[in-house]
Amino acid sequence: MTINWQPTSTIAVLRTRAQLIANIRKFFNDRDVLEVETPLLSQGTVTDPHVIGIPALCRLAQQEQWRYLQTSPEYAMKRLLAAGSGSIYQICKAFRQGDFGKLHNPEFTMLEWYRVGFDHHALMNEMDELLQQILKTLPATRLSCTEAYEKYVSINPHSATLAELTKRANELINFTSNLSDRNAWLELLFTHCVAPCLGDDRPLFLYDFPVSQAALAKIRPGMPPVASRFEVYFKGIELANGFHELQDVQEQRARFEKDLQYRDEIGLTKVAVDENFLGALQHGLPDCAGVALGVDRLIMLALETDVLTDVMSFTFDRA
């Protein structure tokens, strides 16, 4: 059997990668944002049915305990915020079940940061500054979810019925199914018809998501109400996902319970809710905004390549 032990990237690219990550650290150090480290193994994990964690079996004092490799450092970082850390950032590994391909690897590098006193619009401004420094991009443009869906698929994401979404998906991508989840249809139309059109010549910030996709974001009242959430796209690639962070522990627990119910309905494995995170929310999370950015994708764009293999030392198949 031939063993391919060599890295998937070149040493020259890895040197460039190291410099780009050093530049990211300088960006935050210049702004007096504290770098932190949090555990990769945790007692709880995300309940989101679309983000699947990787369990790990630990043996301590001859006892077996299950933990989860973290899908992001979000919950632990919010515990630090509740403890009074002030604005913080972290560059770390994250782990998710799912695809392995051009833009996905089960183990990847994430940059996550939180700014106390910011809302999501202020954080978009800072994200834009970071992208201009690291990628040398033009200033970003912004588009609401309503504008994006109406422009590219001619529907309103807040008010379109399940029947209307089903019909539109069949018309645009010849996809038929008996899916009863409205968000699944929205996501299908988005990934096939909207996302590939975003951020062609400069980054694009997509904001004001439907309330059904709020995740850990605040809901802003209005007609319609919207989730105070944004995503960042460049050259059709999703780079980041950010929130004006929810502070209400009862609302957050209710969202987790709704996720768990849906996971049960579609046959996903039961997971443990992160009670430590909810305890921090109960204590009090300061008003803040946070965002998670895929570092490997950022470097891929900086080096003008189109596959993660080119910028990671060892991808999943050689790990």
292 located within any domain: yes
145 located within any domain: no
CATH code (residue 304): 3.30.930.10
Axis crossing angle, helix 11-30 with helix 295-302, rounded to the nearest 10: 110
Percent of the chain surpassing pLDDT 90: 85
Q: What are the C-alpha distances in Å from 114 to residues 74, 84, 164, 315?
A: 9, 12, 38, 29
What is the pLDDT at residue 73?
A: 97
181 located within any domain: no
What is the pLDDT at residue 180?
A: 77
What is the pLDDT at residue 36?
A: 98
For the residues of 275-287, what is the DSSP string, one character each? HHHHHHHHH-PPS
What confidence tens digit (pLDDT) does each residue in 112-145 have? 999 999 999 999 999 999 999 999 999 999 999 9
Both tokens of 72, joined, read: 């992001």
209 located within any domain: yes
Residue type, 205: F
What is the pLDDT at residue 129?
A: 98
What is the pLDDT at residue 269?
A: 87
183 located within any domain: no
Residue type, 118: F
What confidence tens digit (pLDDT) does each residue in 4-33 have? 899 999 999 999 999 999 999 999 999 999
79 located within any domain: yes
DSSP-based three-state secondary structure for 146: helix
Domain range for 222:
11-140+202-318
What is the pLDDT at residue 178?
A: 73
Question: With a cut of 70, which residues of the chain have pLDDT below it?
Answer: none
Peptide bond into 139 cis (omega under 30): no
Instruction: Work out how many domains the chain is built from and give that number.
Output: 1
How far apart, in whole angstroms, are the C-alpha atoms of residue 315 and residue 319? Answer: 6
* Residue entry with tokens 């183990």: 107
What is the pLDDT at residue 272?
A: 83
Both tokens of 42, joined, read: 């945790």
DSSP state of 190: I
Sheet of 54-60: strands edge to edge?
A: 41-42, 63-69, 54-60
What is the pLDDT at residue 1?
A: 77
165 located within any domain: no
Q: pTM (2 decimals)?
A: 0.94
Residue 301, Ramachandran bin (φ over 0: left; ψ between -120 and 50: alpha; else beta): alpha
How far apart, in whole angstroms, are the C-alpha atoms of residue 318 and residue 5? Answer: 7
What is the pLDDT at residue 50?
A: 86
167 located within any domain: no
